[in-house]
Structure 1
């Protein structure tokens, strides 16, 4: 089973939503966690917009990347363009992607759009892992 780390600057919105979708869509297929370059708190807007999509992330907490070891993860997905700020050992995992999604914290009205973009990308990610394991 692949282990995925979603990372964002503060682990307050985008990475938290990605973790929520991945735990739901990838249940039994991937292990997932999210973290940030710094910790903060999960934004209420992220919790509310995910609730609108039928996923409860209210129990998730903000964590720092430094709490984890890169060798424990196969894939690292940056959601905010922060890949350039990650320690090198995180960039050399089996898969590294930087999705560079807009920050809804600065424009709360875009939370639903960003949430839907994350859902689409997480769905494609999980589907690609299933294809790879079959092939």
Structure 2
């Protein structure tokens, strides 16, 4: 089963979701991530994922059009409202589901304390982990 996690900039939430899925469900699911824009990989996302033993430092921020054209996605999961509202068209076979997660960069933008910033990123990382652990069963109820 091929799953695409789609976010605005493919910099944080979708990257974490791809990393968790490859780590926890790689024997059942093939995970990809992309954005409706590209913003580069968020260094805090890399850092908090590394804390749990998942290396996303080699990932790149990419558009859906950057993915191989021959991939047929069973599910496209939008992880933010903007991506859900601007989700590109996918063939009828692909089921689109919206599972929104808080945006760590937005929540942390006014903060200067490193511990407080990391706390936000860790919470969202852990929320995404909880969702990924429910896959693929959670998708069959959509």
TM-score, normalisation: structure 2: 0.81
Conserved 8 A contact 2:72-2:94: no
Partner of 1:111: 121
Q: Which whole-Å CA distance do the structure 2 matches of 1:112 and 1:105 have between them?
A: 12
Aligned-pair CA distance for 1:66: 2.1
Deviates more, 1:58-67 or 1:113-122: 58-67
Distance change in 2, residues 1:70/1:102 (3 Å): farther
Q: Which whole-Å CA distance do the structure 2 matches of 1:12 and 1:71 have between them?
A: 21
| Gapped regions of structure 1 (runs ≥ 5) | none
Q: Which whole-Å CA distance do the structure 1 matches of 2:98 and 2:70 have between them?
A: 16
Distance change in 2, residues 1:10/1:21 (3 Å): same
Give 1:40-51 correspondences, 5 Å limit: 40-51=39-50
Q: What secondary structure sits across from 1:89 in the alignment?
A: coil
Conserved 8 A contact 1:70-1:93: no
Aligned pair count?
A: 127
Q: Which whole-Å CA distance do the structure 1 matches of 2:84 and 2:128 have between them?
A: 17
Conserved 8 A contact 1:70-1:89: no
Pick from 110, 127, 131: which aligns with 1:121?
131
Conserved 8 A contact 2:7-2:79: yes
Q: Which whole-Å CA distance do the structure 2 matches of 1:19 and 1:74 have between them?
A: 15
Distance change in 2, residues 1:67/1:50 (3 Å): same
Q: Which whole-Å CA distance do the structure 2 matches of 1:71 and 1:78 have between them?
A: 17
Distance change in 2, residues 1:96/1:18 (3 Å): same
Q: Which whole-Å CA distance do the structure 2 matches of 1:122 and 1:46 have between them?
A: 16
User: Is residue 2:74 matched to residue 1:74?
Assistant: yes
